[in-house]
Amino acid sequence: MNPAAEALTRAGLIGAVSGLRSQWGMAAVAWSARPADVSVTARPWVRGATLASATGEFVVDKSPRVPSRLTPGGLVPRLVLGALSGMALYRRSEGPATSAASPVAAAAAGAVAAGAFACAGAGWRRVAGARTGDAVAAAVEDVVAVALAWVACSPAGVRPPCRRAGHAPQAVEFEGTGTPGTDRAPDGPGE
């Protein structure tokens, strides 16, 4: 996958996390930052604040008194946080290879995915909650959100393995020749 497409895919995935759990997308971006990262999301106070808000949402989400995520008060923050977390994750991978995309496109991908997954999550909770109970449906949604966050923020990312059908294996250059596929290195200790 080309770097620009991968960056936009990651932005969409982290936006999806924000659609399921509004605070978790930004928390995943903050907590997956590398030590050398100088962005705002890598600062200790941001990590602490995002962890506290994600933990609070984890607890409060299980309450039957929480209004629907599809009300304006529930949906607008998910869209905004989906856009912000998508843009923050995009900026982490920004470089010459990702120049085909832009932070605005990453924010849009995050917001669109947040909206789509907010609707899908609400539908899931309505249907599955009626069958298994809301706590079980919420727990499954938590697992899906964590899995999406892990894929979006992991260093391996969303790249396919290099040996897939349709992908040519990379040529290996052997020592001393400068040409692929030939070996002019000694075969044993006697040579």
pLDDT in tens, 123-165: 999 999 999 999 999 999 999 999 999 999 998 655 555 555 5
Closest among 90, 124, 159, 89 to 19, alpha carbons compared: 124
Q: Is pLDDT above 60 for 20?
A: yes
| pLDDT value of residue 96 | 65
**Cα–Cα dist 89/133, whole Å:** 34
| pLDDT value of residue 163 | 52
Q: Is pLDDT above 50 for 169?
A: no
The model's confidence at residue 112, banded by pLDDT at 50, 70 and 90, is very high
Model-level pTM?
A: 0.78
pLDDT in tens, 27-74: 999 999 887 787 888 889 999 999 999 999 999 888 888 889 999 999
**CA distances from residue 64 to 22, 131, 133 in whole angstroms, order as listed:** 17, 16, 11
**Cα–Cα dist 103/61, whole Å:** 30
The overall average pLDDT reported for the chain is: 84
Q: Is pLDDT above 80 for 186?
A: no
Mean pLDDT of 93-97: 70
**CA distances from residue 31 to 37, 53, 73, 90, 156 in whole angstroms, order as listed:** 11, 13, 26, 15, 16
